[in-house]
């Protein structure tokens, strides 16, 4: 479900309250930076804020929450009635005071879709700031994610953050705020969303995601607090992929060739309806290496998803390369997997090359 159609948000009450309090006090920042891992509800929160701001009545709801719980008397909510015309317009993408910038949109200059957000798209969206808002109200622009702004587009946004148009609210969603221009970050009020507790992800998997997998507990653990990732894992056979990664890595520094080819076969198929699992594998392998690096830096901070994970991490860190080299491997493998489909590389060969890099680090102890 796209965030524009999703009216449910749970686990981020502090961020929601922070915005409501700022809004009702009359001291709302003109730009908000909503940060956190992918799939935890950042865009959903941005759309809730947009509906709240653009609704013409008082949208503060003191009644029951989405989940049937009574809200405390002093707690406001961003929830508005989805049947309001403004909500229906946002769902259809037809609200005159609302704009969204996201990858995959058409570039007005070329008529083609883009992987980044480009300056022509920013300029087109900013035209809303020169128009008279309906009923003299606010305009809202969501950038999801702001990490996708190219250099010229980022500078165009920065200019508007430095000289904000009247009654215009910018909502910047970011998975990696460190990649944004420091001047953009400094001109936004920040809402940092945290990963959800595992038990909350598990509950949402069944209630919101409709997931009845018998391994729902393991899927929730593997999601690292992201309900979006948990649903993707459940629908994309994520546990089988993760176990296949572990099998291929379990003999390191020697690589089990049979297991490695089996892993490659699981994701070699190109995009075809709902059968493409390579993007899930790419994220999973990057996360697997990140967990290894974190284990070396901080010790084990998360439970095992499959038996033997911690023992494998300990062995690789003890007998393999120093931690800084594992960081380099993580960066190289993540970049390689990330560009695979963009430049049409052979998926299976990329996986083999990734494990070659991992195997080399596993057999390279500090001198």
Predicted confidence (pLDDT) per residue in 41-51, tens digit: 999 999 999 99
Task: Provide the terminal-to-terminal Cα distance of the chain, rounded to the nearest Å.
Answer: 52
Tell me if 30 sits within 8 A of 170, measured CB to CB: yes
Average pLDDT over residues 12-23: 93
Q: Which residue has the higher pLDDT, 61 or 249?
A: 249
Own/partner pairs, 68-76, CB within 8 angstroms, 24+ separation: 75/13, 75/17, 76/17, 76/20, 76/21, 76/24
Rounded CA-CA distance 183/2 in Å is 30
Rounded CA-CA distance 24/129 in Å is 23
Confidence category of residue 365, pLDDT binned at 50, 70, 90: low
**364: pLDDT strictly greater than 90:** no
Q: What angle do CA 125, 129, 131 make, to 5 degrees?
A: 110
Task: Name the average pLDDT for the chain.
Answer: 87
Say whether 187 sits in a helix, a strand or coil. coil
Rounded alpha-carbon distances, angstroms, from residue 184 to 42, 187, 193, 242, 248: 18, 5, 19, 37, 43
Residue pLDDT, tens place only, 212-252: 767 888 899 899 899 888 988 888 888 889 999 999 999 99
Rounded CA-CA distance 353/328 in Å is 15
Tell me if 186 sits within 8 A of 47, measured CB to CB: no
Percent of the chain with pLDDT over 90: 58
Percent of the chain with pLDDT over 70: 89
Residue pLDDT, tens place only, 306-319: 999 999 999 999 99
Q: What angle do CA 257, 261, 264 make, to 5 degrees?
A: 140
Tell me if 101 sits within 8 A of 125, measured CB to CB: yes
Rounded CA-CA distance 59/50 in Å is 11
Confidence category of residue 270, pLDDT binned at 50, 70, 90: low
**367: pLDDT strictly greater than 70:** no
Confidence category of residue 137, pLDDT binned at 50, 70, 90: confident
Rounded CA-CA distance 219/230 in Å is 6
Residue identified by tokens 């993580």 is: 330
Confidence category of residue 65, pLDDT binned at 50, 70, 90: very low
pLDDT of 257 reads 86
**57: pLDDT strictly greater than 50:** no
Tokens standing for residue 357: 């890099």
Q: Which region among 13-27, 149-163, 274-288, 306-320 has the lowest average model confidence (pLDDT)?
A: 274-288
Tell me if 82 sits within 8 A of 59, measured CB to CB: no
Average pLDDT over residues 129-147: 86
pLDDT of 213 reads 66
**11: pLDDT strictly greater than 80:** yes
Confidence category of residue 109, pLDDT binned at 50, 70, 90: confident
| pTM exceeding 0.85 | no
**Residues constituting the chain:** 367
């Amino acid at each position: 479900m796209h965030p524009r159609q999703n009216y449910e948000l749970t686990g981020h009450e502090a961020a929601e309250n922070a915005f409501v309090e700022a809004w009702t006090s009359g001291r709302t920042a003109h730009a908000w930076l909503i940060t956190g891992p992918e799939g935890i509800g950042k865009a959903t929160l941005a759309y809730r804020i947009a509906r709240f701001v653009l609704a013409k009545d008082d949208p503060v709801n003191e009644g029951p929450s989405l989940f049937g719980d009574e809200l405390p008397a002093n707690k406001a909510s961003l929830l508005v009635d989805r049947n309001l015309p403004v909500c229906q317009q946002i769902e259809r993408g037809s609200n005159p005071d609302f704009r969204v910038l996201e990858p995959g949109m058409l570039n007005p200059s070329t008529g083609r879709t883009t992987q980044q957000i480009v300056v022509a798209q920013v300029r087109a969206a900013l035209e809303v700031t020169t128009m008279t808002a309906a009923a003299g109200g606010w305009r809202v622009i969501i950038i999801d994610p702001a990490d996708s702004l190219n250099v010229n587009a980022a500078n165009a946004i920065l200019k508007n953050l430095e000289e904000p148009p009247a009654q215009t609210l910018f909502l910047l969603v970011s998975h990696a705020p460190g990649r944004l221009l420091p001047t953009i970050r400094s001109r936004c009020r920040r809402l940092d969303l945290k990963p959800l507790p595992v038990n909350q992800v598990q509950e949402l998997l069944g209630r919101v995601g409709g997931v009845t997998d018998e391994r729902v507990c393991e899927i929730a653990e593997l999601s690292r607090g992201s309900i979006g990732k948990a649903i993707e894992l459940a629908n994309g056979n994520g546990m089988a992929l993760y176990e296949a990664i572990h099998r291929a890595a379990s003999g390191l520094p020697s690589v089990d060739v049979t297991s490695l080819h089996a892993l490659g076969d699981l994701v070699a198929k190109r995009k075809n309806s709902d059968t493409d699992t390579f993007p899930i594998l790419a994220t999973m392998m990057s996360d697997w290496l990140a967990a290894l690096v974190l284990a070396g830096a901080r010790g084990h901070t998360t439970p095992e998803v499959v038996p033997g994970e911690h023992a494998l991490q300990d062995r690789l860190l003890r007998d393999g390369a120093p931690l800084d080299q594992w960081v380099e491997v993580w960066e190289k493998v993540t970049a390689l997997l990330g560009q695979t489909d963009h430049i049409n590389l052979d998926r299976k060969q990329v996986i083999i090359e990734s494990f070659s890099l991992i195997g080399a680090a596993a057999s390279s102890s500090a001198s």
